[in-house]
Chain A
Amino acid sequence: MNLFEHPAHELLDLLKAQKTSAQAIFESVFSHLKQSDKNIKAFVRLSHQLPDFGPAVPSRNYPIPIALKDNICVEGQEVTCCSHILEGFKPPYDATVTQKLKKSGALILGNTNMDEFAFGSSTENSYYGPTRNPWDTACVPGGSSGGSAAAVAAHEAVWALGSDTGGSIRQPAAFCGVVGVKPTYGRVSRYGLIAFASSLDQIGPITKDVTDAALLLNIIAGYDERDSTSVNVPVPDYTKALINDAKGLKIGIPKEYFIEGMDPEVKQSILEAIDVLKKKGAAFKEISLPHTEYAVATYYIIATAEASSNLARYDGVQYGLRLQPQETRKSAIVDMYEETRDQGFGPEAKRRIMLGTYSLSSGYYDAYYLRGQKVRTLIKDDFDQAFKNCDAILTPTAPTTAFRIGEKANDPLSMYLSDIYTISANLAGVPAMSLPCGFSKNGLPIGLQIITQSFAEEMMFRIAYTYEQNTDWHKRKVGQK
């Protein structure tokens, strides 16, 4: 096996046994990346500064090559959210997660492709063009963190960070056959994450297996006074939760999720996953999340309202692009704002900004935004009720496997519905993860989603680890049959 194919915990074992070096790991991954990415197009930019392995550099605890989604700030490194409007923007500071990664010794490879401002579920809405799914390059990698998931699946990075507002880590992880974790809202600092919907966004790991996800969450989690929504509760050692046993655990299966629209191959894989966990001692029961039907509609009110407000700052004055039209329409400055935003944002960004502006506008606020916030309360209450009777909830991550590039590009609503199983966890703030649980007969990965109570990531990791240790989907590699 090549070095670049190993998960990080194996690389760390090799380092400990002095069978390899940080430099050898980096070079193996980096040279594979440069070759492989000509086809996959997971990266939009490589780090302008490559790591120094000279004798003066102190030894690194976790010299693991990592890719960052193109919405996470690294001081002095261009970051654009894959939008024309941010072209040329070089942040003057590191995100908190970047600082933590640098301190841990992780080796930042560059920025990965995404739907513009994370608006999408396929990575097709990127100013730089689509990323290809490593399992079938005619298919999308999912999104919005499609570049990060594809990079890990194609072994172009050992670890990646994504961000998840409505499923943007979990759905691409499912489509690409890797592990993706959306931590509890407030578990990881959002400082230096370019905002989409501030009450929903969380940064999380995308990795080759569950052990790596626990290792990476150990590094990035924690309270940060620069993010007033981060929560000051102690960070446990998540690797201690990696227990291969589900005895005594009660897992709920929400009846509202097993409905029309779910691919029969996906359903079959989930039923088989339930059997695996039953054999390891878990007890399953049907539960109800009665407001599931309203989650997507609620999300598209709240997320777009917050986005329209967060994206108001891109007006040509401070960041990236500035355009001045030839003729004067209103006044020189207003014309500059309006031309910059018209040319700088892509079609999906404009759609969401306008939907959000509409639902916040005078006369519509009560009917849309306020009603959306109230239904959000009901969705959150559903989870609170469900967790009185179970330790975790198990669902598919997405209703289908990866769809073809272009298949849903002209139908925004059908694209939105591909997040039907992931959105509720963001609205409720609870942690959720996706891990591989099978392949379709066409060779496309299927993802299993585990959801737990807020700050119960350890329970989530324990169930995921138990499932993983008793199956071998995570060992299947792109290119192998």
Chain B
Amino acid sequence: MITQKDVKYIASLSRINLKEQEVGRLTKNLEAILHYIEKLKKVDVSQVQPTSHVFPLNNVFREDVVQPSLHQDKAIKISQNHHQGSFKVPKVIE
């Protein structure tokens, strides 16, 4: 049902450089799990609304008031790669 080619494609969507030796094992694992999940196909959901959240909370607003917040100097320090207040990344534009 799920092929090694599918697994490589999902790995690339997930931004994981999956090594060749992992592909076979993961294909087998995912196949077993997806097979188990197939049982949901037996449930009639034609008249059912989806639940993304258990309480009917929507549009949670707050007053637009200026408050102290985390300072950039402090926030940027979570990265070991920062320069002049920005995150440093490998060259993007050739």
Known A-B contacts A185-B54, A318-B78; the reply to A298 vs B40 at CB < 8 A is yes
A408 adjacent to chain B (CB < 8 Å): no
Minimum CB–CB distance for B54 against chain A, Å: 3
B40 x A361 contact (CB < 8 A): no
Interface size on B, residues (CB 8 A): 51
Interface size of A as a range: 35 or more
Q: Which of A90, A354, A371 contacts B11 (CB 8 A)?
A: A354
A317 adjacent to chain B (CB < 8 Å): yes
B 26-52 binary contact with A (CB < 8 Å = 1; else 0) = 100110111011011101010011111
Q: Which of A228, A301, A354, A413 contacts B26 (CB 8 A)?
A: A354
A294 x B18 contact (CB < 8 A): no
Of A64-72, A262-270, A325-333, A470-478, which binds chain B?
Answer: A325-333
A291 x B37 contact (CB < 8 A): no
A297 x B90 contact (CB < 8 A): no
Minimum CB–CB distance for B28 against chain A, Å: 10
Which residues 197-211 in A have Cβ within 8 Å of B in the complex?
199
For B39, what are the chain A residues with a Cβ–Cβ distance below 8 Å?
293-294, 297
19 contacts between A and B (CB under 8 A): A186-B55, A199-B52, A294-B40, A294-B43, A312-B15, A319-B79, A329-B17, A338-B17, A342-B16, A342-B18, A354-B16, A358-B10, A358-B34, A361-B13, A371-B40, A373-B51, A374-B45, A377-B50, A454-B55
Question: Which positions in B face A, CB cutoff 8 Å?
Answer: 2, 6-7, 10-19, 22, 26, 29-30, 32-34, 36-37, 39-41, 43, 45, 48-55, 57, 60, 62, 70, 74-75, 77-81, 87, 89-92
Known contacts A350-B26, A412-B29; 16 additional CB pairs below 8 A are: A199-B52, A229-B53, A301-B37, A317-B89, A335-B17, A335-B90, A338-B16, A353-B14, A353-B16, A354-B7, A368-B37, A371-B43, A374-B45, A375-B48, A376-B51, A429-B54
Question: Which positions in A face B, CB cutoff 8 Å?
Answer: 88-93, 185-186, 199, 225, 228-229, 231, 291, 293-294, 296-298, 300-301, 308, 312, 315, 317-319, 322, 324-325, 329, 331-339, 341-342, 345, 347, 350-351, 353-355, 357-358, 361, 368, 370-378, 380, 412-413, 416, 428-429, 454
